Amino acid sequence: MTAATARAFPNIALVKYWGKRDEELILPVAGSLSLTLDILPTTTTVSLAPEAEADRFELNGREATGESLRRVAAFLDLVRSLAGSQTPAFVRSRNEAPTGAGLASSASGFAALATAAAAAYGLDLDARGLSRLARRGSGSASRSIVPGVAVWHAGDGDETSFAEAVAAPEMHMVIVTVDAGEKPVSSRVAMRRTALTSPFAEAWPRTTEESLAEMISACEAGDFTRIGRITETHALRMHALIQSADPPIRYLTPRSVAVFDAVAELRERGVEAYATADAGPNVVVLVQSADAEAVAARMEEFGRVQIAKPGPGVELLEGDASPE
Ligand code: DP6
């Protein structure tokens, strides 16, 4: 095959990944757990281009340059080294989420790129192999290979650090986009700064592994209340950690905090809703399906609102489907 197209969906972590113990292999300091969504996918076509002099990357119809091209080309170098190839490629990607706004665009992006590139260069990888490969592009992408709830194991090394599915009760997410702009500090840079400068960084890996173990048992028990409580606590712990870096980084804006407050008020009125946020100002509210519409209506004053259900894992699309 000389061209392949794959589609992957973003995921939102309920137990967050924040920090690497190996930056080259992207091995995390602790495991994490997420829900893959059924909206805002990235669709990517990788076409081998033997005549070309270098890789090209087009995102949403625009030729990419600079850091985003460099990251895609470095990832293709890894795929080529595994496939024993030196052929450049043309990568065309369509991303339905706002890129770089903390809505997991690198997760869906690298999951789709890993899967399309593996197929185009003839690598025969199972789901675990694809998850390990996607991890090398962006840590959270390892989880977007998997449908529904996924745990990404910290592992002992490259071979054992991959994501796999976990049984969990039915859950929906209400995505509240309070600001679709690009975030001021990328998660990659912020993770490094946190590890180097926060006095609290030392406590993070152990306490995250504890939250993860509790979360997996809550998922297996189908206990939505426990899942929700751990989700909100762990998200706020991550933001507290990030804010404690020097110089500090603050992703949550007054509007994000207002959403957390509105979610707490809903709980006081007996609605089971729990908030989380990644490295950006947007907030995601975890709910049970019966409450999704009412919670979404309550959130409308804060920004654009979308309801997501658990989504599929990465898929190779048949034929020469193009992301147009
Ligand atoms: C806050 O996976 O984007 O969304 O591995 O450096 O590419 P890199 O980082 P990335 O970080 C995601 C951080 C997070 C939490 C999470 O998704 O678990």
How far away, in angstroms, is 121 Cα from ligand 1 center?
26
Per-residue pLDDT band for 182 (boundaries 50, 70, 90) equals: confident
pLDDT for position 211: 98
What is the atom index within ligand 1 of the atom nearest the CA of 34? Answer: 18
Among 31-45, 155-169, 171-185, the minimum mean pLDDT is found in 171-185
Kindly state the average pLDDT of the residues 265-281. 97
Ligand 1 mean position, distance from CA 220 (Å)? 25
Q: What's the distance, Cα to Cα, between the start and end of the chain in Å?
A: 20
* Nearest residue to 33 (alpha-carbon basis) of 146, 128, 190: 146
Cβ pair 277, 175 in contact under 8 A: no
> Ligand 1 center to residue 323 CA distance, Å?
25
In the structure, which protein residues have their CB atom closer than 6 angstroms to any atom of ligand 1?
13, 16-17, 26, 32, 106, 138-140, 187-188, 278-279
Rounded alpha-carbon distances, angstroms, from residue 51 to 2, 34, 86, 88: 13, 41, 11, 8
Token pair, residue 120, equals 């185009």
Distance between CA atoms of 159 and 162, rounded to whole angstroms?
A: 8
- Model confidence at 1, in pLDDT bands (50, 70, 90)? low
Please identify, by atom number, the ligand 1 atom nearest to the C-alpha of residue 110: 7
Q: What is the mean pLDDT of residues 167-172?
A: 96
> What pLDDT sits at residue 155?
98
Pick the atom of ligand 1 nearest to 278's CA.
1
pLDDT band at 183 (very low <50, low <70, confident <90, very high): confident
Whole-number Å distance between alpha carbons of 39 and 31: 25
Q: Say what angle helices 66-83 and 105-120 make with each other, to 10 degrees.
A: 40
pLDDT, residue 43, reads: 97
Ligand 1: centre distance to CA 190 (Å):
10
Distance CA 108, CA 298 (A): 28
By CB neighbour count within 10 A (0-12 exposed, 13-18 middle, 19+ buried), where does 235 fall? buried
CA distances (Å), origin 219, targets 31, 135, 308: 15, 23, 19
Exposed / middle / buried, residue 121 (Cβ in 10 Å: 0-12, 13-18, 19+):
buried
- Which of 17, 20, 151, 208 is the best mutation target for the ligand 1 pocket, counting ligand atoms within 8 Å of the beta carbon and taking the most? 17
Query: 152 with 17: CB under 8 angstroms?
Result: yes
Spell out the SS3 assignment of the chain: CCEEEEEECCEEEEECCCCEEECCCCEECCCEEEEEECCCCEEEEEEECCCCCCCEEEECCEECCHHHHHHHHHHHHHHHHHHCCCCCEEEEEEECCCCCCCCCHHHHHHHHHHHHHHHHCCCCCCHHHHHHHHHHHCCCHHHHCCCCEEEECCCCCHHHCCEEECCCCCCEEEEEECCCCCCCCCHHHHHHHHHHHCCCHHHHHHHHHHHHHHHHHHHHHCCHHHHHHHHHHHHHHHHHHHHCCCCCCCCCCHHHHHHHHHHHHHHHCCCCEEEECCCCCCEEEEECHHHHHHHHHHHHHHCEEEEECECCCCEEECCCCCCC
Tell me: ipTM over 0.95: yes
